[in-house]
Structure 1
Amino acid sequence: MIAKKSGRKAAHAAQGNTLLVAFQGALEGLRRELGLSRRAFAERLGIPRSSYFHLMTDAANPSLDYIELIAERAGVEPIAFLGNVAARRTTQNRASQGLRPVS
């Protein structure tokens, strides 16, 4: 029997969950900016405190719909949670192909 390899999962693991880390960092940054405790921030977002704490773990895997919901309730655009990673990846990809960064 030949073992199947999941290229997507391997690539995701190799990237170190950069989208998840970016999402978590942006969410925590927004919470700190607002001066709220994690409990108060979860209440403001309308999610259980346990769900907020789960979002901050490595096991979190929020759907795009959930990210949109959180962004809407937080009063920010969803791309604010992921934008820096997308821009950095585009620049890295262009550089690895010998192209100049987009201005």
Structure 2
Amino acid sequence: MGAEKFFTAEKEGQKIAVEVKDFDAVSVISELEKTMGQLQLYQWALESQEPELQLFLAISQEIYIKHFQKPIFQLVVQRNKINLLVYEPNQEVILQWIKH
């Protein structure tokens, strides 16, 4: 996949929008704040322009294990009902779809 991208796709007949993030900033909390703002803007835009699209945040398995197991990340994901797509970048394989 890549560092940061936004694209649409289809999964089992359902259209999805995917924001890919690598969380390689010096401060992962700052990156989390920035990402939450971007996702909120994307969600609002999708609701008005393409309501059939469901938004997902794509992160590598390494980032999922390293950061998204921390309480603050879990809280943000749960409170904001962020759908996650966890992938393995070398093989370009999706490992988990986590819907909230």
Q: TM-score, normalised by structure 1?
A: 0.27
Higher relative contact order (CA 8 A, sep 6+): 1
Q: TM-score, normalised by structure 2?
A: 0.27
Which of structures 1 and 2 has the bigger CA Rg? Answer: 1
